[in-house]
């Protein structure tokens, strides 16, 4: 690790498998999924009836309840997790220069719940009754803005949205802010809340796995019997800093961001790459940008989400880039633990850091009939400390982000 390396110094997450690092790590290690039948809203009439939902997260433990009262769930969770991540990094808010703390967020939809509540009111009761207190939270940047407002942060602040790579793009921008010395600390977060409208929208476009009686087995990345995604809900925040700053504080970072790739492909609006060449390019570019050879990779934390096309093409891409090493390098997807959703980039980074920290590689727990026997698709936790992890982020519509995290 060089002096100027960018590292992940703190983390926090609210996920379907828990809200405390220890709880999440234990679930990941033991193979406990957070996907369960939906009880938050009525699911009669839908083919798919399960999701990964955050069971309980007391944002009030971290932010005064009065300040949270009128906020959307994504904003509440984001602000509370930002506080928690700073604490985890050993950073005191009062000891930081607020102008040097940046906030960069990613989300596919923002607060769909408030947007839908607002619009439902408008349709049902007319414009005169439209609720002015909901409207400001319909913007996707509400979460990042509320983080800055509630924590009093005055540094650069922005929000990205690019379907399944929204969170990854936020992290990459945070790296560039640190490299340009525009911040001392960047709080990076991403996530998605699950509400009925979003569930209905996904059901309507027939993306969901229709296996009502298999609460866990519906989401089967890299399995021959996969038939769609299961939705999830998760929000996470991490603190990014220069490595030398963290070392000076006498702390150990979770991982260093060794490099990344930003690439895309031009095919249909909601399509994944049918061949996988763009996925190969994403992986290749990320490895090159990180000065890492394919055989140095200790874990490929895949994008596999149980969709027919994405998973097969990702494996094609892995074969192309890794060649003979593909039989050895463990590949797994953690989506069967928490479900799939657009803004899951930072939750995925948190899962990666926790596994690296604890020294194991989580498996694709729903895998029974691997799509490709020649690739090392792992089903359950492997007792091996991953030191160089390639994270694949491939979104429908064609935007891809590759990232390499290394043990610091």
Stretch that binds another protein, among 109-117, 296-304, 332-340, 361-369 (CB under 8 A): 109-117
Q: Does 210 bind another protein (CB under 8 A)?
A: no
Kindly identify the residues of this chain, within the stretch 27-46, that bind another protein according to CB under 8 A.
none
Q: Is 361 in the site for another protein (CB under 8 A)?
A: no
Q: Binding residue for another protein (CB under 8 A) from 46, 77, 160, 222?
A: 160
- The count of C-alpha atoms lying within 13 angstroms of the C-alpha of 330, restricted to the half-sphere facing its C-beta, is 23
Instruction: Tell me the HSE value of 98 on the side-chain side, using a 13 A CA sphere.
Output: 9
DSSP structure string for 4-72: T-EEEEEEEEEBTTBSSHHHHHHHHHHT---EEE--SS--TT-S--EEE------GGGTS-HHHHTT--
Using rule CB under 8 A, residue 182 touches another protein: yes
Q: Which is nearer to another protein, 29 or 160 (CB)?
A: 160
- Specify the residue, 24 or 51, whose C-beta has the smaller distance to another protein: 51
Stretch that binds another protein, among 45-53, 185-193, 259-267, 381-389 (CB under 8 A): 259-267
Residue 158 engages another protein in binding (rule: CB under 8 A): yes
Please count the other Cβ atoms lying within 10 Å of the Cβ belonging to residue 357. Answer: 16
Does 73 bind another protein (CB under 8 A)? Our answer is no
Contact predicate 17/28, CB 8 Å:
yes
* 402 lies in the binding site for another protein (CB under 8 A): no
User: Which among 132, 131, 161 is positioned nearest to 144, based on CA atoms?
Assistant: 161
CB of 28 to another protein, least distance (A): 28
339 lies in the binding site for another protein (CB under 8 A): no
Helix H or strand E encompassing 148: helix 142-151
**Binds another protein by CB under 8 A, chosen from 119, 184, 275, 357:** 119
Please select the residue that binds another protein; options are 37, 65, 90, 152, rule is CB under 8 A.
152
Residues 6+ apart with CB under 8 A from 5: 242, 243, 256, 257, 258, 408
Q: For another protein, which stretch binds (CB under 8 A), given 48-56, 147-155, 360-368, 378-386?
A: 147-155
Question: What tokens appear for 236 in the block?
Answer: 């996470």
Contact call for residue 103 and another protein (CB under 8 A): yes
Q: Is 397 in the site for another protein (CB under 8 A)?
A: yes
How many Cβ atoms from other residues are within 10 Å of residue 174's Cβ? 28
Please report how close the Cβ of residue 192 comes to another protein at its closest, in angstroms. 11
């Amino acid at each position: 690790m060089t002096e100027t390396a960018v590292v992940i110094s703190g983390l926090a997450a609210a996920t379907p498998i828990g809200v405390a690092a220890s709880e999440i790590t234990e679930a990941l290690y033991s193979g406990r999924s957070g996907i369960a039948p939906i009880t938050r809203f009525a699911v009669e009439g839908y083919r798919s009836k399960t999701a990964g939902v955050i069971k309980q997260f007391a944002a009030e433990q971290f932010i005064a309840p009065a300040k949270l009262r009128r906020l959307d769930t994504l904003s509440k969770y984001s602000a509370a997790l930002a506080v928690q991540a700073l604490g985890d990094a050993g950073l005191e808010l009062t000891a930081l220069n607020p102008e040097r703390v940046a906030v960069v967020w990613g989300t596919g939809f923002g607060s769909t719940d408030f947007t839908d509540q607002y619009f439902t009111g408008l349709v049902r009761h007319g414009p005169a009754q439209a609720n002015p207190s909901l409207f400001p939270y319909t913007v996707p940047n509400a979460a990042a803005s509320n983080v800055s407002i509630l924590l009093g942060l005055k540094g650069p602040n922005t929000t990205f949205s690019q379907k399944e790579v929204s969170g990854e793009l936020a992290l990459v921008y945070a790296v560039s802010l640190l490299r340009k010395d525009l911040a001392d600390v960047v709080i990076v977060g991403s996530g998605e809340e699950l509400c009925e409208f979003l569930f209905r929208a996904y059901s309507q476009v027939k993306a969901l796995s229709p296996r009502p009686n298999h609460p866990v087995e519906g989401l089967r990345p890299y399995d021959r019997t996969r038939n769609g995604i299961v939705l999830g809900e998760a929000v996470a925040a991490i603190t990014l800093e220069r490595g030398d700053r963290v070392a000076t504080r006498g702390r150990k970072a979770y991982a260093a961001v060794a490099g990344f790739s930003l690439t895309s492909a031009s095919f249909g609006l909601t399509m994944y790459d049918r061949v996988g060449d763009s996925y190969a390019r994403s992986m290749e570019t990320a490895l090159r940008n990180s000065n890492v050879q394919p055989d140095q990779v200790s874990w490929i934390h895949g994008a596999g989400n149980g969709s027919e096309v994405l998973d097969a093409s990702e494996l094609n891409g892995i074969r192309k880039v890794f060649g003979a090493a593909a039989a050895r390098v463990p590949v797994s997807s953690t989506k069967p633990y928490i479900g799939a959703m657009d803004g899951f980039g930072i939750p995925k980074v948190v899962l990666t850091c926790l596994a690296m920290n604890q020294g194991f590689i989580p498996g694709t727990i729903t895998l029974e009939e691997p799509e490709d026997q020649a690739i090392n698709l792992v089903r359950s936790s492997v007792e091996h400390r991953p030191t160089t992890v390639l994270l694949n982020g491939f979104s429908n519509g064609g935007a891809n982000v590759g990232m390499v995290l290394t043990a610091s």
